[in-house]
A and B are shown apart, each in its own frame.
Chain A
Amino acid sequence: MSFLTALVSGLSLGSIYAIIALGYTMVYGIAKMLNFAHGDFIMVGCYIIFTVASTWGSSPVLGVIAAIVLCTLLGVATERVAYRPLRHAASPLAVLITAIGVSYLLENLALLIFGADAKAFTSVIPWNGISLFGGQLHIQGVTIVTIAVSVVVLVALQLFIHRTRSGQAMLAASQDQGAATLMGIDVNRTISLTFAIGSGLAAVAGALLCSAYPSLSPYTGAMPGIKAFVAAVLGGIGSIPGAMIGGLVLGIIEILAKTYISSQLSDAIVFGILIVVLLFKPTGLLGKVVQEKV
Chain B
Amino acid sequence: MGALLEVKNLNVYYGVIHALKDVSFHVNKGEVVALIGANGAGKTTTLHTLSGLLRPQSGSILYQDKEIARMPGHKIVSMGMAQVPEGRRVFADLTVEQNLRLGAFTRKDKNEIDETLSMVYERFPRLKERQKQVSGTLSGGEQQMLAMGRALMSHPDIILMDEPSMGLSPIMVGEIFNIIEKVHADGTTVLLVEQNAKKALKVADRAYVLETGRITMEGKASDLLHDEAIQKAYLGE
Contact = CB atoms under 8 A, between A and B. Distances in A.
Interface in B64-111: 72-75, 77-78, 82-83, 85, 89-94, 98, 101-103, 105-106
A216 B68 CA distance: 52
A174 B101 CA distance: 16
Contacts of B154: 183-184
A244 interface: no
Interface residues of A, number: 19
Contact of B92 (A169, A175, A180): A175
Contacts of B53: 178, 181-182
Contacts of B105: 165, 168-169, 172, 183-185
B231 to A, nearest CB: 31
A238 B150 CA distance: 25
A165 B101 CA distance: 10
User: Chain A interface mostly helix, strand, loop or mixed?
Assistant: helix
B132 to A, nearest CB: 14
A249 B143 CA distance: 38
B101 A168 contact: yes
B91 A182 contact: no
Contacts of A186: 72, 74
Contacts of A169: 105
Interface in A139-186: 165, 168-169, 171-172, 175-176, 178-186
A289 to B, nearest CB: 12
Contacts of A179: 85, 89-91
16 contacts: A165-B105, A168-B102, A172-B102, A175-B93, A176-B89, A178-B89, A180-B102, A181-B73, A182-B51, A182-B77, A182-B82, A182-B83, A182-B85, A182-B89, A183-B150, A288-B93
Given A175-B91, A183-B102, 9 more contacts: A168-B105, A175-B92, A175-B93, A176-B91, A179-B89, A180-B102, A181-B74, A183-B103, A184-B74
Interface of A: 165, 168-169, 171-172, 175-176, 178-188, 288
Interface of B: 51-53, 72-75, 77-78, 82-83, 85, 89-94, 98, 101-103, 105-106, 150-151, 154
